[in-house]
Amino acid sequence: MSRLLDELDTVSRRRLLTLAGAGAAGLFAPPLLGRGALAQPVFADYPFQLGVAAGDPQPDGFVIWTRLAPEPLALGHGMPSQPVRVEWEVASDQNFATVVRKGEAVARPELGHSVHVELAGLQPARPYWYRFMAGKERSLSGRAATTPLAGADVQRVRFGVAGCQHYEQGLFTAYRKLAEEELDFIFCYGDYIYEGRGSRLNNSARGPSANPRQYLDGEVYSLDDYRRRYAQTKMDPDLQAAHAAAAWFTIWDDHEIDNNWVSDLDQDGTPPAIFKLRQQSAMQAFYENTPLRPSALPSGPSLQLYRRAAFGRLLELNFLDTRQHRSDQACGDRWNTVCPDIERARTEVLGARQERWLLDGLSASQARWKALAQQIMVMDLDRNPGPEYTANLDSWAGYRAPRTRLLSHIRDRRISDVVVLTGDEHQNFAGELHLDGRNPGPRPIATEFVATSISSAGDGQDQRPDMVRIQAANPQLKFNNSQRGYLLCDVDRERWRSEFKVLDRVSVPDGALSTRIKLAVAAGDPRIVPA
Ligand code: FE
Ligand code: CA
Protein backbone atom coordinates (compact mmCIF):
# COMPACT_ATOMS: atom_id res chain seq x y z
CA MET A 1 0.00 0.00 0.00
CA SER A 2 1.45 3.34 -0.94
CA ARG A 3 1.92 5.82 1.88
CA LEU A 4 0.58 8.89 0.16
CA LEU A 5 -0.70 12.09 1.61
CA ASP A 6 -4.33 12.01 0.55
CA GLU A 7 -6.28 15.21 0.71
CA LEU A 8 -9.63 14.00 -0.52
CA ASP A 9 -12.53 16.37 -0.44
CA THR A 10 -15.49 15.20 1.58
CA VAL A 11 -17.48 14.03 -1.41
CA SER A 12 -14.84 11.82 -2.94
CA ARG A 13 -13.74 10.56 0.47
CA ARG A 14 -17.28 9.44 1.20
CA ARG A 15 -17.50 7.93 -2.24
CA LEU A 16 -14.25 6.08 -1.82
CA LEU A 17 -15.31 4.66 1.52
CA THR A 18 -18.52 3.51 -0.12
CA LEU A 19 -16.56 1.84 -2.89
CA ALA A 20 -13.91 0.21 -0.82
CA GLY A 21 -15.52 -0.37 2.55
CA ALA A 22 -13.83 0.17 5.88
CA GLY A 23 -10.54 -1.24 4.61
CA ALA A 24 -9.96 1.98 2.73
CA ALA A 25 -9.14 3.78 5.97
CA GLY A 26 -5.65 2.36 5.73
CA LEU A 27 -5.12 4.36 2.56
CA PHE A 28 -4.97 7.61 4.47
CA ALA A 29 -1.39 7.44 5.54
CA PRO A 30 0.19 9.75 8.06
CA PRO A 31 0.58 13.23 6.50
CA LEU A 32 4.38 13.17 6.50
CA LEU A 33 5.45 12.75 2.91
CA GLY A 34 4.11 16.03 1.62
CA ARG A 35 5.87 18.18 4.17
CA GLY A 36 8.76 20.12 2.77
CA ALA A 37 7.77 19.41 -0.81
CA LEU A 38 7.48 22.44 -3.05
CA ALA A 39 3.76 22.97 -3.61
CA GLN A 40 3.73 25.76 -6.19
CA PRO A 41 6.80 25.36 -8.38
CA VAL A 42 7.18 27.60 -11.40
CA PHE A 43 8.41 25.54 -14.31
CA ALA A 44 10.67 26.81 -17.09
CA ASP A 45 8.57 24.79 -19.53
CA TYR A 46 5.73 22.28 -19.57
CA PRO A 47 6.59 19.65 -16.91
CA PHE A 48 4.61 16.73 -18.39
CA GLN A 49 6.60 16.33 -21.61
CA LEU A 50 7.23 12.64 -20.86
CA GLY A 51 3.51 11.90 -20.77
CA VAL A 52 1.58 9.72 -18.36
CA ALA A 53 1.25 5.96 -17.96
CA ALA A 54 -0.62 3.31 -16.03
CA GLY A 55 0.52 -0.18 -15.18
CA ASP A 56 -0.02 -3.47 -13.39
CA PRO A 57 -3.83 -3.37 -13.15
CA GLN A 58 -5.59 -5.46 -10.51
CA PRO A 59 -9.31 -5.78 -9.76
CA ASP A 60 -9.27 -2.77 -7.42
CA GLY A 61 -6.74 -0.44 -9.01
CA PHE A 62 -3.55 0.12 -10.95
CA VAL A 63 -0.44 2.28 -10.81
CA ILE A 64 -0.47 5.73 -12.37
CA TRP A 65 2.83 7.26 -13.36
CA THR A 66 4.36 10.49 -14.51
CA ARG A 67 7.73 12.17 -14.29
CA LEU A 68 8.17 15.91 -14.02
CA ALA A 69 10.68 17.07 -16.63
CA PRO A 70 10.23 20.60 -17.98
CA GLU A 71 13.60 20.26 -19.76
CA PRO A 72 13.66 16.49 -20.33
CA LEU A 73 17.08 16.33 -22.00
CA ALA A 74 18.93 18.69 -19.65
CA LEU A 75 20.99 17.49 -16.70
CA GLY A 76 18.51 17.63 -13.82
CA HIS A 77 15.63 17.62 -16.36
CA GLY A 78 14.83 21.27 -15.59
CA MET A 79 13.64 20.55 -12.05
CA PRO A 80 14.66 22.20 -8.78
CA SER A 81 16.86 20.03 -6.54
CA GLN A 82 14.06 19.35 -4.12
CA PRO A 83 10.85 17.35 -3.80
CA VAL A 84 7.80 18.71 -5.59
CA ARG A 85 4.14 18.03 -4.85
CA VAL A 86 2.06 16.47 -7.60
CA GLU A 87 -1.71 16.20 -7.43
CA TRP A 88 -3.60 13.44 -9.21
CA GLU A 89 -7.19 12.70 -10.08
CA VAL A 90 -8.97 9.55 -11.20
CA ALA A 91 -12.39 9.84 -12.83
CA SER A 92 -15.00 7.37 -13.99
CA ASP A 93 -15.51 9.36 -17.21
CA GLN A 94 -13.28 10.82 -19.86
CA ASN A 95 -14.28 14.41 -19.06
CA PHE A 96 -13.51 14.10 -15.34
CA ALA A 97 -17.09 15.02 -14.45
CA THR A 98 -17.03 12.36 -11.72
CA VAL A 99 -13.72 12.27 -9.90
CA VAL A 100 -13.67 9.11 -7.79
CA ARG A 101 -10.21 9.45 -6.26
CA LYS A 102 -7.76 12.28 -5.86
CA GLY A 103 -4.69 12.91 -3.82
CA GLU A 104 -1.10 14.07 -3.71
CA ALA A 105 2.20 12.43 -4.33
CA VAL A 106 5.76 13.67 -3.99
CA ALA A 107 8.05 13.76 -7.01
CA ARG A 108 11.43 13.20 -5.45
CA PRO A 109 14.76 14.27 -6.94
CA GLU A 110 16.25 10.92 -5.86
CA LEU A 111 13.82 9.24 -8.29
CA GLY A 112 14.18 11.66 -11.19
CA HIS A 113 10.98 13.41 -10.07
CA SER A 114 8.89 10.40 -11.04
CA VAL A 115 5.71 9.44 -9.19
CA HIS A 116 4.19 5.97 -8.90
CA VAL A 117 0.73 6.19 -7.31
CA GLU A 118 -0.86 2.87 -6.36
CA LEU A 119 -4.62 3.20 -6.64
CA ALA A 120 -6.95 0.98 -4.64
CA GLY A 121 -10.65 0.87 -3.93
CA LEU A 122 -11.71 1.08 -7.59
CA GLN A 123 -14.36 -1.12 -9.15
CA PRO A 124 -13.31 -4.21 -11.12
CA ALA A 125 -13.36 -4.59 -14.90
CA ARG A 126 -14.06 -1.03 -15.90
CA PRO A 127 -12.12 1.87 -17.42
CA TYR A 128 -10.95 4.93 -15.54
CA TRP A 129 -9.23 8.14 -16.60
CA TYR A 130 -6.39 9.77 -14.69
CA ARG A 131 -4.29 12.95 -14.83
CA PHE A 132 -1.73 14.89 -12.83
CA MET A 133 -1.32 18.52 -11.77
CA ALA A 134 1.83 20.30 -10.58
CA GLY A 135 2.05 24.02 -9.88
CA LYS A 136 -0.31 25.55 -12.39
CA GLU A 137 0.24 22.85 -15.00
CA ARG A 138 -1.88 19.83 -15.85
CA SER A 139 -1.00 16.67 -17.77
CA LEU A 140 -3.00 15.13 -20.56
CA SER A 141 -5.21 12.32 -19.34
CA GLY A 142 -4.64 8.60 -19.63
CA ARG A 143 -7.07 5.70 -19.66
CA ALA A 144 -6.64 2.39 -17.85
CA ALA A 145 -8.97 -0.45 -16.90
CA THR A 146 -9.07 -2.51 -13.74
CA THR A 147 -9.05 -6.28 -14.18
CA PRO A 148 -12.06 -8.51 -13.41
CA LEU A 149 -12.47 -10.06 -9.97
CA ALA A 150 -10.65 -13.29 -9.27
CA GLY A 151 -12.96 -16.15 -10.23
CA ALA A 152 -15.10 -13.98 -12.51
CA ASP A 153 -16.56 -15.70 -15.55
CA VAL A 154 -14.75 -13.50 -18.09
CA GLN A 155 -15.86 -14.04 -21.69
CA ARG A 156 -13.14 -12.24 -23.61
CA VAL A 157 -9.81 -10.46 -23.20
CA ARG A 158 -8.12 -8.49 -25.94
CA PHE A 159 -4.57 -7.16 -25.56
CA GLY A 160 -1.51 -5.97 -27.44
CA VAL A 161 2.05 -7.32 -27.30
CA ALA A 162 4.87 -4.91 -28.20
CA GLY A 163 8.49 -4.00 -27.48
CA CYS A 164 11.96 -3.71 -29.03
CA GLN A 165 11.64 -0.03 -29.82
CA HIS A 166 15.03 1.10 -31.07
CA TYR A 167 14.55 4.86 -31.32
CA GLU A 168 17.26 5.26 -33.94
CA GLN A 169 16.23 2.43 -36.23
CA GLY A 170 12.65 3.41 -36.92
CA LEU A 171 9.67 5.58 -36.08
CA PHE A 172 7.12 4.45 -33.48
CA THR A 173 4.16 4.44 -35.90
CA ALA A 174 3.18 1.00 -34.62
CA TYR A 175 2.53 2.52 -31.20
CA ARG A 176 0.18 5.09 -32.69
CA LYS A 177 -1.73 2.26 -34.35
CA LEU A 178 -1.70 0.23 -31.14
CA ALA A 179 -3.14 3.25 -29.27
CA GLU A 180 -6.11 3.20 -31.66
CA GLU A 181 -7.01 -0.40 -30.76
CA GLU A 182 -9.42 -0.77 -27.85
CA LEU A 183 -7.44 -3.02 -25.54
CA ASP A 184 -7.72 -4.37 -22.04
CA PHE A 185 -3.97 -3.94 -21.60
CA ILE A 186 -0.60 -3.89 -23.37
CA PHE A 187 2.20 -6.34 -22.57
CA CYS A 188 5.64 -4.82 -23.24
CA TYR A 189 8.34 -7.50 -23.49
CA GLY A 190 11.24 -5.09 -23.08
CA ASP A 191 13.99 -3.40 -25.05
CA TYR A 192 12.16 -0.16 -24.25
CA ILE A 193 15.47 1.65 -24.71
CA TYR A 194 18.74 0.51 -26.27
CA GLU A 195 21.93 1.28 -24.43
CA GLY A 196 24.18 1.70 -27.47
CA ARG A 197 24.19 4.25 -30.21
CA GLY A 198 24.74 4.59 -33.90
CA SER A 199 24.25 1.03 -35.09
CA ARG A 200 23.66 1.67 -38.76
CA LEU A 201 20.92 -0.22 -40.50
CA ASN A 202 21.82 -2.31 -43.47
CA ASN A 203 18.39 -2.88 -44.87
CA SER A 204 18.93 -5.73 -47.28
CA ALA A 205 15.58 -5.25 -49.01
CA ARG A 206 16.25 -1.67 -50.01
CA GLY A 207 20.00 -1.35 -49.63
CA PRO A 208 21.91 0.42 -46.86
CA SER A 209 20.05 3.30 -45.30
CA ALA A 210 20.72 5.88 -42.64
CA ASN A 211 18.86 5.74 -39.36
CA PRO A 212 15.80 7.99 -39.34
CA ARG A 213 16.70 9.30 -35.86
CA GLN A 214 19.69 9.46 -33.55
CA TYR A 215 20.25 9.07 -29.86
CA LEU A 216 21.86 12.15 -28.32
CA ASP A 217 24.56 10.29 -26.43
CA GLY A 218 26.97 7.45 -26.89
CA GLU A 219 26.56 4.24 -24.93
CA VAL A 220 24.84 4.94 -21.61
CA TYR A 221 26.39 4.01 -18.26
CA SER A 222 25.42 6.46 -15.51
CA LEU A 223 22.02 7.12 -13.99
CA ASP A 224 21.89 10.50 -15.73
CA ASP A 225 22.78 8.81 -19.05
CA TYR A 226 19.96 6.29 -18.72
CA ARG A 227 17.52 8.98 -17.57
CA ARG A 228 18.27 11.05 -20.64
CA ARG A 229 17.85 8.03 -22.91
CA TYR A 230 14.42 7.31 -21.42
CA ALA A 231 13.54 10.99 -21.75
CA GLN A 232 14.47 11.10 -25.42
CA THR A 233 12.52 7.89 -26.07
CA LYS A 234 9.49 8.93 -24.04
CA MET A 235 9.18 12.30 -25.78
CA ASP A 236 7.89 10.37 -28.79
CA PRO A 237 4.16 11.23 -29.12
CA ASP A 238 3.22 7.83 -30.58
CA LEU A 239 4.72 6.04 -27.59
CA GLN A 240 2.94 8.46 -25.25
CA ALA A 241 -0.35 7.73 -27.02
CA ALA A 242 0.06 3.99 -26.44
CA HIS A 243 0.74 4.59 -22.75
CA ALA A 244 -2.29 6.88 -22.43
CA ALA A 245 -4.57 4.33 -24.14
CA ALA A 246 -4.25 1.35 -21.78
CA ALA A 247 -2.45 0.03 -18.74
CA TRP A 248 0.81 -1.75 -19.49
CA PHE A 249 2.47 -4.77 -17.96
CA THR A 250 6.14 -4.07 -18.58
CA ILE A 251 9.13 -6.33 -18.23
CA TRP A 252 12.67 -5.63 -19.28
CA ASP A 253 14.85 -7.54 -21.70
CA ASP A 254 18.57 -6.98 -22.16
CA HIS A 255 18.92 -3.48 -23.63
CA GLU A 256 17.43 -1.68 -20.65
CA ILE A 257 20.81 -2.55 -19.12
CA ASP A 258 23.25 -3.99 -21.67
CA ASN A 259 23.11 -6.33 -24.69
CA ASN A 260 22.75 -10.00 -23.63
CA TRP A 261 23.43 -9.38 -19.94
CA VAL A 262 22.54 -12.12 -17.48
CA SER A 263 22.90 -12.10 -13.70
CA ASP A 264 25.90 -9.88 -12.90
CA LEU A 265 27.66 -10.54 -16.22
CA ASP A 266 27.86 -8.36 -19.29
CA GLN A 267 29.04 -9.49 -22.71
CA ASP A 268 32.41 -7.75 -22.43
CA GLY A 269 33.77 -9.55 -19.39
CA THR A 270 33.52 -6.50 -17.14
CA PRO A 271 34.27 -7.44 -13.52
CA PRO A 272 30.86 -8.23 -11.94
CA ALA A 273 31.41 -5.79 -9.06
CA ILE A 274 31.80 -3.00 -11.63
CA PHE A 275 28.99 -4.18 -13.91
CA LYS A 276 26.72 -4.17 -10.84
CA LEU A 277 27.21 -0.40 -10.52
CA ARG A 278 25.94 0.03 -14.06
CA GLN A 279 23.07 -2.37 -13.42
CA GLN A 280 22.09 -0.37 -10.36
CA SER A 281 21.86 2.84 -12.41
CA ALA A 282 20.00 1.11 -15.23
CA MET A 283 17.53 -0.59 -12.90
CA GLN A 284 16.81 2.66 -11.08
CA ALA A 285 16.17 4.49 -14.37
CA PHE A 286 13.96 1.59 -15.53
CA TYR A 287 11.91 1.88 -12.33
CA GLU A 288 11.71 5.66 -12.57
CA ASN A 289 10.35 5.49 -16.12
CA THR A 290 8.01 2.50 -15.86
CA PRO A 291 4.56 2.27 -14.24
CA LEU A 292 5.63 -0.49 -11.85
CA ARG A 293 4.27 -1.03 -8.35
CA PRO A 294 6.40 0.70 -5.66
CA SER A 295 7.21 -2.79 -4.39
CA ALA A 296 9.47 -3.05 -7.48
CA LEU A 297 11.70 -0.22 -6.23
CA PRO A 298 15.19 -1.60 -6.83
CA SER A 299 17.56 -2.33 -4.00
CA GLY A 300 21.12 -2.18 -5.27
CA PRO A 301 21.48 -4.13 -8.54
CA SER A 302 18.29 -6.08 -7.87
CA LEU A 303 14.66 -5.51 -8.83
CA GLN A 304 11.70 -7.84 -8.28
CA LEU A 305 10.23 -8.09 -11.79
CA TYR A 306 8.43 -11.42 -12.15
CA ARG A 307 4.79 -11.35 -11.16
CA ARG A 308 1.36 -12.65 -12.06
CA ALA A 309 -1.95 -11.15 -13.18
CA ALA A 310 -5.33 -12.73 -13.91
CA PHE A 311 -8.47 -11.96 -15.88
CA GLY A 312 -10.98 -13.96 -13.88
CA ARG A 313 -10.98 -17.61 -14.84
CA LEU A 314 -10.19 -16.92 -18.48
CA LEU A 315 -6.53 -15.91 -18.53
CA GLU A 316 -3.60 -15.96 -16.15
CA LEU A 317 -0.40 -14.20 -17.14
CA ASN A 318 3.01 -15.08 -15.72
CA PHE A 319 5.39 -12.19 -16.41
CA LEU A 320 8.89 -13.61 -16.30
CA ASP A 321 12.40 -12.29 -15.79
CA THR A 322 14.75 -14.39 -17.91
CA ARG A 323 17.73 -12.04 -17.40
CA GLN A 324 18.36 -11.30 -13.75
CA HIS A 325 18.50 -14.84 -12.36
CA ARG A 326 19.98 -16.66 -15.38
CA SER A 327 23.26 -18.56 -15.74
CA ASP A 328 25.81 -17.34 -18.25
CA GLN A 329 25.19 -18.16 -21.91
CA ALA A 330 26.78 -21.38 -23.13
CA CYS A 331 29.61 -21.65 -25.64
CA GLY A 332 30.81 -18.06 -25.11
CA ASP A 333 27.45 -16.70 -26.38
CA ARG A 334 28.70 -16.81 -29.95
CA TRP A 335 25.98 -16.10 -32.51
CA ASN A 336 24.06 -19.12 -33.77
CA THR A 337 26.45 -21.88 -32.95
CA VAL A 338 26.36 -24.73 -30.50
CA CYS A 339 28.62 -26.79 -28.22
CA PRO A 340 28.05 -29.55 -25.64
CA ASP A 341 27.70 -26.83 -23.02
CA ILE A 342 24.03 -26.26 -23.92
CA GLU A 343 23.21 -29.64 -22.36
CA ARG A 344 24.81 -28.84 -18.99
CA ALA A 345 22.48 -29.79 -16.16
CA ARG A 346 23.30 -27.16 -13.57
CA THR A 347 22.01 -24.19 -15.46
CA GLU A 348 19.14 -21.76 -14.96
CA VAL A 349 17.03 -19.41 -17.06
CA LEU A 350 14.62 -18.27 -14.34
CA GLY A 351 16.69 -19.18 -11.29
CA ALA A 352 15.50 -21.79 -8.80
CA ARG A 353 13.03 -19.56 -6.95
CA GLN A 354 11.28 -18.11 -9.97
CA GLU A 355 11.18 -21.53 -11.67
CA ARG A 356 9.50 -23.08 -8.60
CA TRP A 357 7.05 -20.15 -8.47
CA LEU A 358 6.22 -20.61 -12.16
CA LEU A 359 5.84 -24.39 -12.15
CA ASP A 360 3.77 -24.35 -8.94
CA GLY A 361 1.63 -21.56 -10.36
CA LEU A 362 1.01 -23.44 -13.60
CA SER A 363 0.02 -26.56 -11.65
CA ALA A 364 -2.35 -24.62 -9.40
CA SER A 365 -3.91 -22.36 -12.02
CA GLN A 366 -7.68 -22.53 -12.48
CA ALA A 367 -7.53 -20.32 -15.56
CA ARG A 368 -8.39 -21.61 -19.02
CA TRP A 369 -5.35 -19.99 -20.65
CA LYS A 370 -1.98 -19.85 -18.94
CA ALA A 371 0.36 -17.34 -20.61
CA LEU A 372 4.11 -17.09 -20.12
CA ALA A 373 4.76 -13.44 -20.99
CA GLN A 374 8.51 -13.22 -21.31
CA GLN A 375 11.57 -12.23 -23.33
CA ILE A 376 13.44 -15.00 -25.14
CA MET A 377 12.31 -17.66 -27.59
CA VAL A 378 11.38 -21.08 -26.19
CA MET A 379 11.26 -22.80 -29.61
CA ASP A 380 14.58 -24.55 -30.25
CA LEU A 381 14.94 -23.64 -33.91
CA ASP A 382 17.93 -24.87 -35.86
CA ARG A 383 19.28 -21.49 -36.92
CA ASN A 384 21.69 -22.72 -39.58
CA PRO A 385 20.37 -25.97 -41.03
CA GLY A 386 23.15 -28.32 -42.05
CA PRO A 387 25.00 -31.27 -40.59
CA GLU A 388 25.12 -29.69 -37.12
CA TYR A 389 22.33 -28.17 -35.04
CA THR A 390 22.87 -24.51 -34.22
CA ALA A 391 20.98 -22.47 -31.67
CA ASN A 392 20.41 -18.93 -30.53
CA LEU A 393 22.42 -19.30 -27.32
CA ASP A 394 20.75 -16.29 -25.72
CA SER A 395 17.37 -18.07 -25.99
CA TRP A 396 15.90 -21.01 -24.05
CA ALA A 397 17.41 -23.30 -26.72
CA GLY A 398 20.86 -22.60 -25.26
CA TYR A 399 19.69 -23.88 -21.87
CA ARG A 400 18.44 -27.43 -22.54
CA ALA A 401 18.05 -28.52 -18.90
CA PRO A 402 15.74 -25.75 -17.64
CA ARG A 403 13.88 -25.79 -20.96
CA THR A 404 13.25 -29.51 -20.54
CA ARG A 405 12.20 -29.00 -16.90
CA LEU A 406 9.62 -26.41 -17.97
CA LEU A 407 8.15 -28.31 -20.91
CA SER A 408 8.17 -31.73 -19.24
CA HIS A 409 6.39 -30.21 -16.23
CA ILE A 410 3.64 -28.90 -18.52
CA ARG A 411 3.44 -32.26 -20.34
CA ASP A 412 3.63 -34.55 -17.30
CA ARG A 413 1.11 -32.58 -15.22
CA ARG A 414 -1.18 -32.45 -18.27
CA ILE A 415 -1.39 -28.66 -18.03
CA SER A 416 -3.32 -27.61 -21.10
CA ASP A 417 -3.68 -24.30 -22.91
CA VAL A 418 -0.25 -22.83 -22.18
CA VAL A 419 0.73 -20.03 -24.56
CA VAL A 420 4.19 -18.43 -24.56
CA LEU A 421 4.51 -14.78 -25.62
CA THR A 422 8.00 -13.69 -26.58
CA GLY A 423 9.96 -10.71 -27.93
CA ASP A 424 13.70 -10.19 -28.50
CA GLU A 425 13.99 -11.68 -32.00
CA HIS A 426 12.93 -8.64 -34.06
CA GLN A 427 10.88 -11.00 -36.21
CA ASN A 428 7.41 -12.52 -36.01
CA PHE A 429 7.22 -16.25 -35.34
CA ALA A 430 4.44 -18.69 -34.50
CA GLY A 431 5.33 -22.21 -33.57
CA GLU A 432 4.62 -25.30 -31.54
CA LEU A 433 6.69 -26.38 -28.55
CA HIS A 434 8.16 -29.87 -28.24
CA LEU A 435 10.70 -31.24 -25.77
CA ASP A 436 13.12 -31.55 -28.67
CA GLY A 437 12.32 -29.54 -31.78
CA ARG A 438 14.77 -31.69 -33.74
CA ASN A 439 12.60 -34.74 -33.00
CA PRO A 440 9.12 -33.38 -32.44
CA GLY A 441 6.62 -35.74 -30.82
CA PRO A 442 3.19 -36.45 -32.29
CA ARG A 443 1.59 -33.68 -30.24
CA PRO A 444 2.99 -30.32 -29.17
CA ILE A 445 3.15 -29.41 -25.47
CA ALA A 446 2.33 -25.70 -25.81
CA THR A 447 2.26 -22.87 -28.32
CA GLU A 448 4.54 -19.87 -28.81
CA PHE A 449 3.88 -16.52 -30.49
CA VAL A 450 6.92 -14.26 -30.93
CA ALA A 451 6.11 -10.61 -31.58
CA THR A 452 8.41 -8.64 -33.84
CA SER A 453 9.67 -5.16 -32.91
CA ILE A 454 8.11 -1.72 -32.93
CA SER A 455 11.13 -0.31 -34.79
CA SER A 456 14.30 -2.35 -34.13
CA ALA A 457 15.95 -3.52 -37.38
CA GLY A 458 14.16 -0.94 -39.51
CA ASP A 459 11.68 -1.52 -42.32
CA GLY A 460 12.42 -5.19 -42.83
CA GLN A 461 10.74 -7.42 -45.40
CA ASP A 462 8.14 -10.14 -45.46
CA GLN A 463 10.62 -12.98 -45.04
CA ARG A 464 14.41 -12.82 -45.03
CA PRO A 465 16.01 -15.17 -47.58
CA ASP A 466 17.90 -17.03 -44.82
CA MET A 467 14.63 -17.58 -42.95
CA VAL A 468 13.06 -19.49 -45.84
CA ARG A 469 15.66 -22.22 -45.35
CA ILE A 470 15.31 -22.10 -41.56
CA GLN A 471 11.54 -22.44 -41.71
CA ALA A 472 11.82 -25.40 -44.11
CA ALA A 473 14.19 -27.17 -41.70
CA ASN A 474 12.06 -26.54 -38.59
CA PRO A 475 8.59 -28.05 -39.06
CA GLN A 476 7.46 -26.83 -35.62
CA LEU A 477 7.79 -23.28 -36.96
CA LYS A 478 4.48 -22.42 -38.66
CA PHE A 479 4.95 -18.75 -39.50
CA ASN A 480 7.75 -16.24 -39.83
CA ASN A 481 7.89 -12.61 -40.98
CA SER A 482 10.51 -9.87 -40.68
CA GLN A 483 8.50 -6.64 -40.70
CA ARG A 484 7.83 -4.24 -37.82
CA GLY A 485 4.59 -4.04 -35.85
CA TYR A 486 2.85 -5.69 -32.93
CA LEU A 487 0.76 -8.69 -31.94
CA LEU A 488 -2.93 -8.54 -31.03
CA CYS A 489 -4.29 -11.35 -28.87
CA ASP A 490 -8.03 -11.96 -28.66
CA VAL A 491 -8.85 -14.66 -26.18
CA ASP A 492 -12.11 -16.38 -25.27
CA ARG A 493 -12.85 -19.74 -23.67
CA GLU A 494 -12.76 -21.66 -26.93
CA ARG A 495 -9.95 -19.99 -28.84
CA TRP A 496 -6.82 -17.91 -28.55
CA ARG A 497 -6.44 -15.78 -31.67
CA SER A 498 -3.17 -14.02 -32.49
CA GLU A 499 -3.21 -11.36 -35.17
CA PHE A 500 0.17 -10.24 -36.52
CA LYS A 501 -0.01 -6.53 -37.45
CA VAL A 502 2.80 -5.25 -39.69
CA LEU A 503 3.85 -1.89 -41.12
CA ASP A 504 5.18 -1.43 -44.64
CA ARG A 505 7.75 1.12 -43.40
CA VAL A 506 9.08 2.64 -40.20
CA SER A 507 11.78 4.71 -41.90
CA VAL A 508 9.26 7.35 -42.94
CA PRO A 509 6.17 8.73 -41.18
CA ASP A 510 2.71 7.31 -41.79
CA GLY A 511 3.67 3.74 -42.57
CA ALA A 512 0.68 1.64 -43.62
CA LEU A 513 -0.53 -1.02 -41.19
CA SER A 514 -1.98 -4.34 -42.30
CA THR A 515 -2.83 -7.72 -40.85
CA ARG A 516 -0.14 -10.12 -42.04
CA ILE A 517 -1.82 -13.26 -40.68
CA LYS A 518 -4.36 -14.38 -38.09
CA LEU A 519 -3.55 -17.63 -36.32
CA ALA A 520 -5.39 -19.46 -33.58
CA VAL A 521 -5.12 -22.15 -30.96
CA ALA A 522 -8.23 -24.05 -29.88
CA ALA A 523 -8.66 -24.83 -26.19
CA GLY A 524 -7.36 -28.33 -25.50
CA ASP A 525 -5.23 -28.51 -28.67
CA PRO A 526 -1.90 -26.62 -28.78
CA ARG A 527 -1.54 -26.87 -32.55
CA ILE A 528 -1.54 -23.65 -34.55
CA VAL A 529 -4.44 -23.35 -36.98
CA PRO A 530 -5.73 -20.55 -39.23
CA ALA A 531 -8.01 -18.15 -37.34
FE1 FE B 1 15.34 -5.83 -29.12
CA1 CA C 1 16.68 -8.24 -26.68
Under DSSP, is residue 68 helix (H, G, I), strand (E, B) or coil? Answer: coil
Give the distance (Å) from ligand 1 centre to CA of residue 489: 20
CA distance 424 to 151: 33
User: How would residue 187 be classed by pLDDT, with cut points 50, 70 and 90?
Assistant: very high
Q: How far is the CA of 165 from the centre of ligand 1 (A)?
A: 7
Question: From the CA of 247, how far away is ligand 2's center (Å)?
Answer: 22
pLDDT in tens, 242-294: 999 999 999 999 999 999 999 999 999 999 999 999 999 999 999 999 999 99
pLDDT band at 205 (very low <50, low <70, confident <90, very high): low
Q: What is the pLDDT of residue 36?
A: 82
* CB contact set of 247 (below 8 Å; sequence gap of 6+): 54, 55, 56, 57, 62, 144, 145, 185, 186, 291
Average pLDDT over residues 425-429: 98
Task: Note the pLDDT of residue 203.
Answer: 52
What is the mean pLDDT of the segment spanning 201-222? 77
pLDDT-wise least confident of 16-30, 199-213, 299-313: 16-30
Share of the chain above pLDDT 70, in %: 91
- Is a pLDDT exceeding 90 seen at residue 43? yes
Ligand that comes closest to the CA of residue 259: 2
**Gap from CA of 423 to ligand 1 centroid (Å):** 7
Ligand nearest to the CA of 453: 1
Ligand approaching nearest to the C-alpha of 394: 2
Measured in angstroms, how far is the CA atom of residue 425 from the centroid of ligand 1? Answer: 7
- Give the HSE-up count for residue 404: Cα atoms under 13 Å, Cβ half-sphere: 11
**Ligand 2 center to 427 CA (angstroms):** 11
Q: How far apart are the CA of 190 and the centre of ligand 1, in A?
A: 7
Between the CA of 483 and the centroid of ligand 1 the distance, in Å, is: 13
Residue 20 has pLDDT above 60, yes or no: no
Q: Which one of 30-39, 69-78, 329-338 scores highest in mean pLDDT?
A: 69-78
Whole-number pLDDT of residue 334: 80
For 6-15, 324-333, 391-400, 481-490, which range has the lowest pLDDT when averaged over its residues? 6-15
Tell me the per-residue pLDDT of 340-356, one tens digit each, with 9 for 90 and over: 889 998 999 999 999 99
Nearest-ligand number for the alpha carbon of 165: 1
- Comparing 340 with 24, the larger pLDDT belongs to 340
Average pLDDT, the chain: 92
Closest CA to 229 of 250, 239, 211, 214: 214
CA of 19 to the centre of ligand 1 (A): 42
Query: How far, in Å, from the CA of 417 to the mean position of ligand 2?
Result: 26
pLDDT above 80 for 66: yes
Task: Check residue 26 and give its pLDDT.
Answer: 33
How far does residue 423's CA lie from ligand 2's centre (Å)? 7
Nearest to 437 by CA among 410, 473, 388: 473
Q: Quickly state the pLDDT bin for 214 (edges 50, 70, 90).
A: very high
The pLDDT of residue 18 = 33
Give 129 Cα–ligand 1 centroid separation in angstroms.
31
Return the minimum-mean-pLDDT range out of 205-209, 359-363, 391-395, 505-509: 205-209
191 alpha carbon – ligand 1 mean position (Å): 5
- Residue 106 CA to ligand 1 center (angstroms) comes to 33
Distance 422 CA to ligand 1 centre (A): 11
Among all bound ligands, the one having the nearest atom to the CA of 169 is 1
Flag whether pLDDT at 422 surpasses 80: yes
- For ligand 1, the distance from its centroid to the CA atom of residue 82, given in whole angstroms, is 36
Output the pLDDT for position 33: 52
Q: Average pLDDT, stretch 426-447?
A: 95
3-state helix, strand, coil in the chain (%, to 5): 20, 30, 50
Distance from C-alpha of 64 to C-alpha of 104, rounded to nearest angstrom:
12
- DSSP summary character for residue 250: E
* Cα 468 to averaged position of ligand 1 atoms, centre (Å): 22
| Ligand 2 center from residue 506 Cα (angstroms) | 19
Task: Tell me, in angstroms, the distance from the centre of ligand 2 to residue 457's CA.
Answer: 12
Instruction: Specify whether the CB–CB gap between 505 and 511 falls below 8 A.
Output: yes
CA–centroid distance, 191 to ligand 2, in Å, is 6
The domains of the chain, with CATH numbers, are 36-145 (2.60.40.380), 156-530 (3.60.21.70)
Which pLDDT does position 210 carry in this prediction?
78
Q: Which-ligand-closest: CA of 199?
A: 1
pTM of this structure: 0.93
Say what the pLDDT of residue 7 is: 33
Task: Look at residue 44 in the predicted model and tell me its pLDDT.
Answer: 94
- C-alpha of residue 154 to centroid of ligand 2, in Å: 33
Q: Which residues of 439-464 are buried (b: 16+ CB within 10 A; e: fewer)?
A: ebeeebbbbbbbbbbbbbbbbbeebb
- Split at pLDDT 50, 70, 90, the class of 332 is confident
**CA 329 to ligand 1 centroid distance, Å:** 17
Q: 48, 94 in Cβ contact below 8 A? A: no
